[in-house]
Amino acid sequence: MADPTAGTTSYDGTEFVLTDEQEAVRDLARTFADRTFDESSVRGLLDDPRGFDPAAWRALGRDLGVLGLALPTTVGGDAEDGRGHVELALLAEELGRVLAGVPLLGSVALAGTALARCGDDAAAAELLAGVLAGEQVLALAATDAAGRWAPEDTGVSLREGSDGAVLDGTVSHVVDGAAADTVLVVAQSGDGPRLVAVAAGTSPADGLVVEPLTTLDQTRRLARLTFSGTPGRVVGDAGSTLDAVAAARDAGALVLAAGAVGASAHLLATSVEYARTRLQFGRAIGSYQGVKHRCADMHVRVEESRSAAYHAAWTLDGATDDDVRTAVDLATVVTGEAFPQVAKDTVQVHGGIGFTWEHATHLYYKRAVGDAALLGGPAAASERLAASWLDATVASPAVGA
């Protein structure tokens, strides 16, 4: 049977085929992931207050140099003309395959993209330098007090204090918020939403309270942040905030989708291996039609997810003429539905052992459920897709309709 975790991905208009350089990125990421994040390592981070491995983060930044793959060179990254999302997806897929404890989503995809698009390259390069070296963590606070993705109105207000910008309000479910050295907050001002950098970590700004949240998925940490007269530094242009945050959501959704592909492929591989070796009544359970069909359905979901995720990556890189938002939302919907189902099917293939704490499947199932609630999840993406198609239909009704 072919390796279910292998995929063919680069885009020429008909199919995905990786370049030699992209293959090298995938191989490097896979080698690092396998060497660094075995199951015991992942479980060891569940009770770690930071929620990630600083040594692994430094290795990704300083040693491997892969944290700037999708960030432009103008802010210290490696990408030219906004490209590099395919490479980012490859990295996210391999890290997702092993549930790696690193703040790639919060620091690079969300905060990093928002900074790169905010119109302030000098501030972005300064704030991102530590991230690209794997020495610091950033977080983007674009949710409201209930944890909903709401950059248009997070509920945090920006006012002028005696020494500069001051923030008041609360945001919740901030990805990597508890581990962040700097938080990039979307706050309301008289000029509309603005991005404000606030010191956190070991030397937090006055009036900032960071509360780690208890979450279903302990491999991805969220936090509630409260600002009470908290000083910050406004970055970026007044009119670029929402566009920058929308681009960050696209990059974050891609990382979530690609991570779901990697995790689903891992679950498929473990299910196929278990079905091949687990004997029942003297026969491998994989010889039974019901198990065969379940594994086949899992394989279809994994490949559909891979196609959708990498189509979104190539579209973000400008390699297709498709609408970026549509491609990203489609990837969110496809992977957001497939990943939880693959996790459920993995439990069923493994039988009783699949329900236990000792088996790793529950970690992947919790990741699937937790990810579905981030950035609006598949529900919000489905609404945007439906609205865009309805708008297009109204604008160009079918002949004879």
CATH number of the structural domain 242-395: 1.20.140.10
Q: How confident is the model at residue 30 (pLDDT cuts 50, 70, 90)?
A: very high
- The string of pLDDT tens digits covering residues 328-375 is 999 999 999 999 999 999 999 999 888 888 899 999 999 999 999 999
- The string of pLDDT tens digits covering residues 112-128 is 999 999 999 999 999 99
Domain 139-237 CATH assignment equals 2.40.110.10: yes
Per domain, the residue ranges of the chain are: 20-137, 139-237, 242-395
Element (H or E) spanning 284, and its range?
A: strand 283-284
The yes-or-no answer to whether 20-137 and 139-237 have a common fold is no
CATH of 20-137, one of 1.10.540.10, 2.40.50.140, 1.10.510.10, 3.20.20.80: 1.10.540.10
Tell whether the model's pLDDT for residue 324 goes beyond 90: yes
- The string of pLDDT tens digits covering residues 197-210 is 999 999 999 999 99
pLDDT of residue 393: 66
Paired residues of 72 in beta bridges? 79
> Higher pLDDT residue, 250 or 388?
250
- The string of pLDDT tens digits covering residues 141-189 is 999 999 999 999 999 999 987 788 999 999 999 999 999 999 999 999 9
Cα separation of 60 and 308, whole Å?
A: 26
Number of CB atoms found within 10 A of residue 214's CB: 6
Cα separation of 401 and 399, whole Å?
A: 6
pLDDT of residue 298: 97
Phi, psi values for residue 178, rounded to 5°: -75, -25
What's the pTM?
A: 0.93
pLDDT of residue 400: 46
